[in-house]
Amino acid sequence: MIVIKLGGSVITDKSSYRTFRKSVVSRLCREIKESGKDVIVVHGAGSFGHILAKENRLNDGFKDEKQIDAVARVCYDTRELSSMVVECLIEAGIPAISVPTGSCFYMEDRKLKIDDDYIIKSMLGKGIMPVMFGDVVQDKKLGFAICSGDQIVEILSDRLDAERVIFVSDIDGLYTSDPKSDPDSKLIPTVDKDTLNKIDTRTSVDDVTGGVREKMVTMLRMCNSKRDCILVNGTVQGRLLSLLKGEEVPCTRAKSE
């Protein structure tokens, strides 16, 4: 099993509210189908979630009733985004169903938890791809909190014993600095904890779930001798397909200690 995280930076324009990149998502879904691999897809919320979540401080938990309208709006928007992603998967020939994260998971002080994975495994057993996504999830301590797609990926990878995890972003991998603002930045093909601590991973785009640094921390925590974790550019045509086929492509691989 391969777990693929389609990042919000790839499937949406994260700087523009509710901007879906259908042509990019459709192509990525076709590449997944063409690979013939056993895959499950998780996607980020992008501009359908991060902008309003940050404006209304939803990741701080329930503070006042003024946040409730924003919670409802973000949940509506992320579900609509997921429906768009699922439509692209179905058009590519992959039977998929959007599964709201809060229907299977809950949080406790922002830590994502699941008591029963029956729904997910039952769907997979029938040849249906359950598609989960970053969302507002009920939190036993905070009332609610933001669940990132990366958190979902981490749990699913363990529950499904994934052999590989691929994070699809809008950059070739991890760089020595932000490649969008620094032309001298260099791609880091392999990263470990020491490497990550030495580089600048700040970003100018609003992201309530930690951005590239948190992604790399998650990747390093997830990888082991039986599972590799890779960050790859999904905006380049054929890059994901080549990676799934086992070909060498520009990317960053997390190295376990």
Q: How far apart are CA 18 and CA 96, in angstroms?
A: 22
Taking each helix axis as running N to C, give the angle between helix 66-91 and helix 22-35, from 0 to 180 degrees, rounded to the nearest 10: 50
The parent domain of residue 23 ranges over 2-254
Check: CB of residue 116 under 8 Å from CB of residue 52: no
Look at residue 111 in the predicted model and tell me its pLDDT. Answer: 95
Which residue stretches of the chain have pLDDT < 70? 200-211, 257
What does pTM read for this prediction? 0.90
Look at residue 204 in the predicted model and tell me its pLDDT. Answer: 45
CA atoms within 13 A on the CB side of 181: 8
Alpha-carbon distances, residue 97 vs 36, 94, 131, 142 (angstroms)? 19, 10, 6, 29
Look at residue 200 in the predicted model and tell me its pLDDT. Answer: 63
Picking from 73, 127, 129, the residue whose alpha carbon sits closest to that of residue 99 is: 129
Look at residue 247 in the predicted model and tell me its pLDDT. Answer: 96
Look at residue 134 in the predicted model and tell me its pLDDT. Answer: 93
Tell me how many domains the chain contains.
1
Q: How many CB atoms lie within 10 A of CB 140?
A: 12
Check which CATH number belongs to the domain holding 61 and give it.
3.40.1160.10
pLDDT in tens, 56-104: 999 999 999 999 999 999 999 999 999 999 999 999 999 999 999 988 8
Look at residue 63 in the predicted model and tell me its pLDDT. Answer: 94
CA atoms within 13 A on the CB side of 213: 14
CA angle (90, 168, 18) in 5-degree steps: 65
* φ, ψ of residue 38 in degrees (nearest 5): -80, 105
